[in-house]
Amino acid sequence: MSQFLLIILFLGVLGFSSMIAGPPKVGIGKPAPDFTLMDQDGVNHTLSDYMGQWVLVYFYPKDDTPGCTVEACTFRDNYRDFEKVKMKVFGISADDAKSHKKFTEKYHLPFSLLADIDAIVMELYGVKIPDAKKAKRHSFLIDPQGKVKKIYDNVTPADHPDEILYDLKAFQ
């Protein structure tokens, strides 16, 4: 075989292996994947529009279920603390804007819930449950430069906001 064919074959194998491995995972210190999603009021939010401030993106399985309600309500109860540090909070699930609207009204949630009805952002962040249109309960703390500062993958809904605020103080 010629050297040229060996190089082509080698590059083809590299390309194929990267297709099998999939896109790079979200990681600490890496830029947070950008997205645009609609909230409960029909307003689109683009992550990169919030550069210059801290952002928390939390993924949850479904509106108005026991664990998700506890988590959302603890964010609500601690929301003033998040406002004091000028942090934007976004909850993301595969529920549509109408479902999010009912959920936010029922529990008086002061932050935006974003509708990822096609689970595209869940896929980007590696939190989609295989064979389901639901997210694993994960959160991503994103710094003002748009980089992932911390990933929370073992979330306890009732304690999660306190954990984030504690970490944020350590980072500042």
Please identify every residue annotated as catalytic.
Answer: 68
65 torsion bin: left (phi>0), alpha (psi -120 to 50), beta (else):
beta
Distance CA 145, CA 143 (A): 5
User: Residue 145: beta bridge partners?
Assistant: none
Four-CA torsion 65, 95, 91, 52, nearest 10 degrees: 180
Token pair for residue 96? 């549509």
Q: In 3D, which of 57, 25, 49, 44 has the Cα closest to residue 125?
A: 25
Distance CA 159, CA 22 (A): 33
In single-letter form, the type of residue at position 92 comes to I
3-state secondary structure of 144: coil
